[in-house]
C-alpha cells in the first residue's frame, strides 16, 4: 500500500510539473495540452519504460545456455525471494553496476554489467542480485522506471520552453526572467523528487537483499568494491541519460562535490554500516 501511495504521489508531482511548464508555454491551453501529454507519458512509462531503459543501456537478454552461472544465480535467488523468474540481461560495460526494472514482479528484469561480474566474487554478486530482487519484491521498480522516463521528458520540455519562451492564455509573451527561472527549476524539482524517494528505497533494498542472499557482509563488501572501482570507470549510457542513475545499485555519475548533495543514492559508508549491523557479532 505504501509503495502504491509513493507511486501515486510521484506521478502527481511529475504531472504538476508538466502542467506548470505547459501553462508557461501557452497559458491555460498549454496547461491542458501538457496534462494530456503527461497522462500519455505516464501510460507509456507504465507499459514500456522498462524496455526503453534496457535499450538505452544496450542490454542483451541471456538465458541458461548463454550465461549459465549468472542465470542460475538469478533463478536461485528469485526462488529464495518467492518471486517469478525475471528476465536476465547483461550489459557490455566495464563500469560495475546493476539494476532491476519492470512494472511488477511478473514483468521484471534484472540487468548487470560485465564489469560488475568481473570484479565481484560469486558471494558478492549474489548480494547485489539479492538487492535488485528486493526492489522487485518491494514493488518499487515501477517508481524508478516512471521517474526516470518522466524526468527526462521534463528536461526536454524545459529546454524547448527555454528556446521558444512562454506565453499567457492571451498569447502574450511572459516575463523572460520568470520563464528562465521556471525552466531551470523544473528539472531540478524532478531530480529532487527522484532523490527523496530513491534514497529510502536503497536502504530498504539493501536490507531486503541481505535477507534474500542470507549474507549482508557480502553485499557490504560488494558495495565497497563497486564504489572503489566505479570512480575510475565512467558508465557512458548513464552519463547520456542521467535520469536513469537512480535505478542503479551505485550512483554511476561522475559528479563530485556539490553534485553529490543531489545524489539519488545514500553514502556508501552509511549503507555498509547498516548492512554490517545485520551481521551477527560472532560472524564478523
Predicted local distance difference test score (pLDDT) of residue 72: 98
**Options 124, 132, 202, 243, the catalytic residue:** 132
Predicted local distance difference test score (pLDDT) of residue 81: 97
> 257 falls in which pLDDT band (50, 70, 90)?
very low
Q: Which of 147, 151, 150, 120 is nearest to 201 (CA)?
A: 147
Mean pLDDT computed over every residue of the chain? 81
| Bridge partners of residue 98, in order along the sequence | 112
Predicted local distance difference test score (pLDDT) of residue 36: 74
Residue 84 near residue 74 (C-beta atoms within 8 A): no
Predicted local distance difference test score (pLDDT) of residue 128: 98
pLDDT average, residue stretch 248-272: 75
> 122 falls in which pLDDT band (50, 70, 90)?
very high
Whether the pLDDT of residue 170 is over 60: the answer is: no
Q: pLDDT (tens digit, 9 = 90+) per residue, 53-72?
A: 999 999 999 999 999 999 99
As a whole number of angstroms, the distance between CA 154 and CA 38 comes to: 10
pLDDT average, residue stretch 25-46: 69
As a whole number of angstroms, the distance between CA 10 and CA 191 comes to: 11
Q: pLDDT (tens digit, 9 = 90+) per residue, 183-225?
A: 676 667 666 666 666 677 889 899 999 999 999 999 999 999 9
As a whole number of angstroms, the distance between CA 42 and CA 167 comes to: 25
Residue at grid coordinates 528484469: 109
| More confident site: 241 or 13 | 241
pLDDT average, residue stretch 250-267: 68
* Residue 132 annotated to the active site: yes
From residue 161, alpha-carbon distances to 13, 154, 190 in Å are 19, 10, 16
Q: Note the residue count of the chain.
A: 284
Amino acid at each position: 500500500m505504501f509503495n502504491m501511495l509513493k507511486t501515486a504521489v510521484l506521478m502527481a508531482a511529475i504531472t504538476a510539473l508538466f502542467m506548470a511548464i505547459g501553462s508557461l508555454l501557452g497559458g491555460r491551453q498549454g496547461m491542458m495540452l501538457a496534462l494530456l501529454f503527461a497522462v500519455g507519458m505516464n501510460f507509456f512509462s507504465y507499459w514500456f519504460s522498462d524496455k526503453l531503459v534496457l535499450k538505452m543501456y544496450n542490454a542483451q537478454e541471456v538465458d541458461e545456455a548463454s550465461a549459465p552461472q549468472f542465470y542460475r544465480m538469478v533463478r536461485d535467488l528469485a526462488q529464495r525471494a518467492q518471486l517469478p523468474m525475471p528476465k536476465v540481461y547483461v550489459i557490455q560495460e566495464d563500469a560495475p553496476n546493476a539494476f532491476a526494472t519492470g512494472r511488477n514482479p511478473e514483468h521484471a528484469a534484472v540487468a548487470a554489467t560485465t564489469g560488475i561480474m568481473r570484479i565481484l566474487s560469486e558471494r558478492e554478486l549474489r548480494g547485489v542480485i539479492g538487492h535488485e530482487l528486493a526492489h522487485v519484491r518491494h514493488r518499487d521498480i515501477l517508481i524508478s522506471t516512471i521517474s526516470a522516463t518522466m524526468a527526462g521528458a521534463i528536461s526536454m520540455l524545459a529546454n524547448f520552453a527555454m528556446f521558444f519562451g512562454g506565453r499567457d492564455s492571451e498569447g502574450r509573451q511572459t516575463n523572460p526572467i520568470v520563464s528562465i527561472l521556471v525552466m531551470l527549476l523544473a528539472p531540478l524539482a524532478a531530480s529532487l523528487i527522484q532523490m527523496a524517494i530513491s534514497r529510502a528505497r536503497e536502504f530498504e533494498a539493501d536490507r531486503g537483499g541481505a535477507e534474500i542472499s542470507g549474507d549482508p557482509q557480502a553485499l557490504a563488501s560488494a558495495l565497497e568494491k563497486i564504489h572503489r572501482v566505479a570512480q575510475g570507470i565512467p558508465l557512458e549510457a548513464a552519463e547520456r541519460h542521467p535520469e536513469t542513475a537512480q535505478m542503479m545499485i551505485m550512483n554511476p555519475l561522475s559528479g563530485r562535490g556539490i553534485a553529490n548533495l543531489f545524489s539519488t543514492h545514500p553514502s556508501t559508508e552509511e549503507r555498509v554500516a547498516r548492512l554490517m549491523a545485520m551481521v551477527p557479532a560472532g560472524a564478523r
